[in-house]
Amino acid sequence: MEDMVKYNKQHKEFRVIIAQAFPDLVQLKKEEDKKSFNELVLKILPEINKYIVGRLNSAIKNGNFSKNKYKADDFIDQLFIEIYDHIDMFENQKDFYLWLFKKTNELLEDAIEEEEFDNLFFKNIDIYTKPEWDEMEENYTVDAGGDFLLIEELDDMSYNHNDYTLNHVFIENKENKIVKRLDKELSKERIHTQIAMVLQQLPLAMSSVFELFTNYKFTAEEIAEIRNSSVTEVEKLLEDARKALQLSFFNRYAINK
């Protein structure tokens, strides 16, 4: 619970940083002071950088492109240009905040071809054996150690610990017994690893929506705007992500639904 409070505080602070920087960015654009403008943009990009790295990690894991094809800086460099070109089109800081993630998504999706949802993983969840789950976790752990992922690009290593919890997966009151049992049997680290590991197996659209909702505290309406999609589509992607995560716990830890 303490970790969740800390994490929520970090993202609220990010919104505050955006709110404080927005009027100054508008003014610097009017003054055509690009040097000061870019220096201020640097202060608001760390959270965006984390989001980009997360999406690139998922794309690499899913085989969309090779490890060395893109770096977060490739997208950050373009964001500098986009922010400078568009900063004066926003009426307020909230519009700018949403656009920042929306534009980031557009840049990423230009590089990553969104795939249609593949039912294969859902089907396999029900037939994975314990050794297969253990092997998947071992591979994930090795990757998270730096051999595969782009974590080395992050200044803030806390990115690798988004502190996923059971409350992100089981949200209905009727699921309280399941949560209590898993909490009793599994460590926080094991729960986090299971969720993060399964998310990397999901389609990019699904894992992206789950991350925006869970880690960045966007509403379904805000995510729909970021993704240029409908609220219904966002809610379906979020529901499917939770369903996949729930099935993974049911199967791996032999829990009766």
Supply the pLDDT for residue 153: 41
Say how far apart CA 39 and CA 214 lie, in whole Å. 29
CA dist., res. 174 & res. 186, Å (int) = 20
Alpha carbon distances (Å) from 149 to 61, 63, 249: 8, 13, 24
CATH: 2.150.10, 1.20.58, 1.10.1740, 1.10.10. Which one for 2-111? 1.10.1740
CA separation (Å) from 179 to 170, 173, 174, 256?
Answer: 7, 10, 10, 12
Q: pLDDT 10s digit of each residue in the chain, 257 long? A: 555 555 556 667 888 889 999 999 999 999 999 999 999 999 888 888 888 888 888 777 766 666 667 788 888 999 999 999 999 999 999 999 999 999 998 888 877 654 434 445 555 666 677 777 777 777 765 444 434 344 334 344 444 446 788 888 888 777 788 888 888 888 888 888 888 888 888 888 889 999 999 989 999 999 999 998 889 989 999 999 998 888 888 888 766 55
- The DSSP symbol for 68 reads T
Structure tokens at 27: 């003014």
Q: Where are the domains of the chain?
A: 2-111, 120-252
